[in-house]
Amino acid sequence: MSPSPDILRVIDLETTGDGFADGGVVEVGWQDLALGAIGDWSLRGPVGSRLVHPGNPISPATSAIHHIIDEDVANAPGWAEAAPRVLQPPGRLALAAHRAAFEQRWCTPKLSGQARWICTYKCALRLWPEAPTHSNQGLRYWRRPEGLDRATGLPAHRAGPDAYVTAHHLRDMLALVDVDQLLVWSAEPALLVRVPMGPLRGRRWQDLDAASLDSVLAGVFGRGADLMFTARTERDRRGSVAPEETVAPQLQLLL
């Protein structure tokens, strides 16, 4: 009889590039959260990590980030061998990562056993929009999660410590909303707090005038999924329908 799903496993990867085409995994780290008897979530067990052979040389540029070199991974298993044991623990309800789309480039459905994913970056945008930054480490020092041991969370940019930090963010998110809500938000594009590009960059969406919002919706700054999703959400919040191809006159002068 398989155990009931009561584990959320937070994952972090260190790699030699941005995807299979130009890099491989050099380290995987994890930290579990367990569901308690009264419905509360807490960290369970120690931080886990293991080195992985990426299948190609580690460049000096990526070693400068995580300080893992070729000699460190010479006898390590490849990702296809290491991944299933890490990604499919008994009782797993879902996997989680900060900016989970990055981890999912290597944690494929086959290797993860068709896991569902929570993206703590997307969820942080929803729950803590006032944060000055929504990076994993930025949230760590802004929020200062209770019980986070500073030494265990260091060094940054190593898989185990980063997973440990992310797990504290996830635990605190689960005190505010349930797993199902986090999964829904994670499956959608990111709901951005500020305009990410163009002459409106850095402006909060609720502060945009109607003409500026219309320009974003018309694709003046591109049609990225996060950008358009946020613009449409803001339009719907205001209860208005924006024209398809309207460009604010004041923005035309800046293009």
Q: Do residues 66 and 150 share a domain?
A: yes
In a domain, 117, yes or no: yes
Q: Do residues 151 and 228 share a domain?
A: no
In a domain, 131, yes or no: yes
Report which of 124, 137, 101 is spatially closest to residue 174, judged by C-alpha positions.
124
94 close to 115: Cβ distance less than 8 angstroms: yes
Q: Which of 157, 187, 217 is the last residue of a domain?
A: 187
Q: Do residues 131 and 70 share a domain?
A: yes
Q: Do residues 180 and 212 share a domain?
A: no
Distance CA 79, CA 54 (A): 7
Q: Considering just the CA atoms, what is the radius of gyration of the chain in Å?
A: 20
In a domain, 247, yes or no: yes
Q: Which of 187, 218, 237 is the last residue of a domain?
A: 187
Q: Do residues 51 and 136 share a domain?
A: yes
* H or E element at residue 214: helix 210-217
Structure token pair of residue 151: 């030494």
pLDDT tens-digit series, residues 129-181: 999 999 999 999 999 999 999 999 999 999 999 999 999 999 999 999 999 99
pLDDT tens-digit series, residues 147-157: 999 999 999 99
Distance CA 76, CA 78 (A): 7
Q: Do residues 213 and 179 share a domain?
A: no
Report which of 92, 88, 84, 85 is spatially closest to residue 8, judged by C-alpha positions.
92
198 close to 220: Cβ distance less than 8 angstroms: yes
In a domain, 241, yes or no: yes
Domain tally for the chain? 2
Q: Do residues 105 and 131 share a domain?
A: yes
Q: Do residues 12 and 137 share a domain?
A: yes
Range of the domain at 213: 205-252
Intervals of the chain under pLDDT 70: 1-5, 18-23, 240-255
pLDDT at 246: 42
What percentage of the chain has pLDDT greater than the value 70? 89
Whether this model's pTM surpasses 0.85: yes
Q: Do residues 244 and 121 share a domain?
A: no
Q: Which of 187, 220, 237 is the last residue of a domain?
A: 187
In the block, tokens 């729950």 appear at 127
pLDDT tens-digit series, residues 96-108: 999 999 999 999 9
